[in-house]
Structure formats: C-alpha cells, structure tokens
Amino acid sequence: MKPPIVRLPKMGPAAHNPGVLPATPEQIRAALDLIDATETVAVLTGAGMSTDSGIPDYRGPDSPQATPMLYDEFVTSVENRRRYWARAFRGWSRMGKAHPNAAHDVLARLETHGRVRGVITQNVDGLHEAAGSGNLVALHGRIADVVCLGCAAVTSREAFQHELARLNPETADDPEAGHAELRPDGDAVVSDWQGFVFPDCPTCGGILKPDVVFFGESVPKQRVEQCFSLVDDSDALLVLGSSLTVMSGLRFVHRAVKAAKPVVIVNRGATRGDELATIKLELGVADFLAAMEAHTRVG
C-alpha cells in the first residue's frame, strides 16, 4: 500500500531568502522524511547540478556575469553566428570533456533503486546520461548535437568540431584554446572572432545551430508533455540546483502544486518557486543527495 503523502508546513521566511544560514540538520531530516513518505519522486535539475563538474551557471551566488545568445539574434545575423561558433569552438574543448560528478551518480543510483521515477533536466551538458540516468528528459536539448534549421538533419557536435578545426587551423592550433574562460552556454570568452569561419548545412545550405533551446525559443510541445506526464505519475517533485527563473522549469512546480503534491527545492540562493515549496533547503545538491541516498538505505 502506498504511504500517504504528508504535506508539511513551510519552513518559514528564513528558508526563502538569499544569504540565509545553510539548512539545519532538522530541516534536512524533515525534507528526507517527506520524500520517504512517497513511493516515487520526479526530479527537476538545473545548472547547480553541474557546477561541481566545472560548468558554471548563470545565477548562482558565485556565477560569472554572462549574457546568453538569444534565438532571434542567432538566426538573423551571420556575425552573431560567427561570434557564437568562435566561442563555442573554444568552449567545447572543455565542455565536451566534462564528467558527471557525485550528484549525477547518486541520482542515477536512486533511480535504479526505484526512489526516483525520472529526471527532467534543464541542462544541456549530457552529464545525466553519462552517469546512467535512464528515464530522462533533456528539456532544453543536448549541446552534443547540431541541427539544421532548414532540413532538420542532426549531426554530432564532435564531427562539427572537427570541421570547425579544419576551417580554422590557426585557431585550432592556439595553445590557449583549452584555457579560455568557460561560460554557462558551453561557449568560452573569445575577444578575436571576426575572422572565424563556420559552415552552413552541407545538404540544404540551412543554418546550423546547436540542438538546444536558446533563450527566446520555445521548448517542443511533445517534450513538455512528456515532462508533465513524469510529474503526474510521481508522488512528489524534487528540484535540485535550479533558480526556476524561467517558466520552462517553474511550470512543473506549478503542476505539482496544483495536484497537491509536495515540492522540495534544494538550491543555494533564492528561487522563483520558494513560496510554492513545501520545503526549501539552502543547501548544495551533492550534500542533499548524499543524505537522501543514506536515508534511503537506512529507511
């Protein structure tokens, strides 16, 4: 018989404000008990999952200043695409070598043990897949793929990287190529990009774009419905390392709340979903997941 869903009172204003003290052991225990009172949990992850893998986020307490490329900027300007691909070429030398961290590994094990029904990730880095998460929806796509906006052909980013290296041999041989400052989009800070050469689609001549959802671009409807189904089929929602600043992630919190399902948010800093959360913990995701795994074994 499925245990009843327990709706705990909110932890109070101190759990919702940036700069507050870290979550107490009592608060962490309350969140673990809440999750333990359910059969399965849907998990929504954000950039805070990948910072320990060396990938910066946009809005964390220590994140660098970064302005993302907007979809309209990318598709309407050759020079914007040139700047993007010059930076992305540099960034891939590090982004493409990133490895899952302990948080990714624990989350995959919790799915194997049946405590996590599935994962919705806002990240495009592919680290959940690499860690072994099976029931996974990459909400914003995967940066390891390149898609043609004309004919929809998809090629690997690795192959595209080799083509960029062939077209830009001087850049490819730059000894500083692997040391440029990585940005949250997976690109890197590059000051000299005006001469960078990048190809169009070899099949139809269309614009080639990383197969990720840019800011200002809509998530495919079928993908959103898949995420809604995951939330609907779970007993609670656990948000890990997301500020929930954009509606593409926040809508799943609204979905869970509307269905009277508990929502636990674990993040360093305030989120747009704090006032909707059953429990908000000011805590790193790796610390919480380690506690959740230990709690699952004991319980």
Give the annotated binding-site residues.
Answer: 122-125, 148, 151, 201, 204, 241-243, 267-269, 285
Q: Is the separation of the CB atoms in 289 and 240 below 8 Å?
A: yes
Give the annotated binding-site residues for NAD(+).
Answer: 122-125, 241-243, 267-269, 285
Kindly state the tokens that stand for 146.
């390149």
Chain centroid to Cα 258, Å, comes to 24
Q: Is the separation of the CB atoms in 133 and 104 below 8 Å?
A: yes
Of 104, 113, 140, 179, the catalytic one is: 140
**Buried/exposed 79-103: b ≥16 CB within 10 Å, e otherwise:** eebbbbbbbbbbbbbbbeebebbbb
Instruction: Indicate if 179 belongs to the active site.
Output: no
Q: Is the separation of the CB atoms in 254 and 282 below 8 Å?
A: no
Give the sign of the dihedral formed by CA 26, CA 259, CA 16, CA 18: positive
Kindly state the tokens that stand for 38.
């359910």
Catalytic residues: 140
